[in-house]
Amino acid sequence: MVIGVLALQGSFNEHIAALRRIGVKGSEIRKPEQLECLNALIIPGGESTTMAKLAEYHNLFPALREFVRAGKPVWGTCAGLIFLANKAVGQKSGGQELIGGLDCVVHRNFFGSQLQSFEIELSVPKLADNEGGTDICRGVFIRAPGILEAGPDVEVLADCPVPSDNAGPVIPGGEDLEDKILFQDRVIVAVRQGNLLGTAFHPELTSDTRWHSFFLKMVKETDEKTLQCISTSERPMENFHEKKPYDLPIFE
């Protein structure tokens, strides 16, 4: 199994190291053709505007969108989550290109600037159910995004209290959203929608590898489904033998 890690910038090395700790090879991905032989992809944290510019420069967007559309598992952490969202707000002027697929509205810097970065214990019952251990995991939030809205097919895995000094994000042209957020005391920070996983924080910066194992299970589930699909659509061997062989030309 090969898990790709988008290696344009950001914490791709840390993801590869976390994968190594659970015995899986992570491969650095920088070109569209490298996506073809992957089982799954991780998009790391970093700076989503810069990442988007680099992805555009390397002509990666069509291949990334096709990867998501084909149902291959993709996990976006922090900037990677922003990249996967159908809609992002709080972007730099001119906006930025997104891969999309994850039916969420994400605020790029929900928790404020780099100085407002923090760590907190998150309760994630699904992580404990699937991977064992306690349902508490350490959330490292670095200039982190928050998920403002999640569609009906999106499973919320974790939310987090909004810090009391968070005056509410400024969303140009999105005053209705701003009002809604202002009265929210918790914000969604981890979601799953089918083949897509998104976390606003950085599990790759902690020693808890359960998020990586969780993603690996998603990959295995998808691979099993693909195998089942192939085997049920295959012609049974008996029919194969009944069929008259083609008359192939013989060259001497």
Q: How far is the CB of 178 from ligand GLN (least distance, A)?
A: 18
Number of chain positions touching ligand GLN (CB under 6 A): 12
Tell whether residue 79 is a contact of ligand GLN (CB under 6 A). Answer: yes
* 78 lies in the binding site for ligand GLN (CB under 6 A): yes
Task: State which residue, 34 or 109, has the beta carbon closest to ligand GLN.
Answer: 109
Do residues 107 and 148 lie in contact, with contact meaning Cβ atoms separated by under 8 Å?
A: yes
- Decide if 204 is catalytic: yes
∠ CA 177-181-185, nearest 5°, is 165
- Which residue, 47 or 208, is less far from ligand GLN as judged by CB? 47
Check: CB of residue 13 under 8 Å from CB of residue 38.
no
8 is a site residue for ligand GLN (CB under 6 A): no
Q: Determine whether 78 is an active site residue.
A: yes
Please tell me which residue in 78, 104, 137, 160 is annotated as part of the active site.
78
Is 96 a binding residue for ligand GLN by CB under 6 A? The answer is no
Catalytically annotated residue among 14, 137, 149, 202: 202
b/e burial code for range 152-166 (CB count within 10 A of at least 16 → b): eebeebbbbebeeeb
Q: Which helix (H) or strand (E) is 29 found in, with range?
A: strand 25-29
Specify the amino acid at residue 186. R
Asked if 107 interacts with ligand GLN (CB under 6 A), we say no
Sign of CA dihedral 193, 17, 32, 37: negative
| Residue 15 annotated in active site | no
For the annotated catalytic residues, the residue numbers are 78, 202, 204
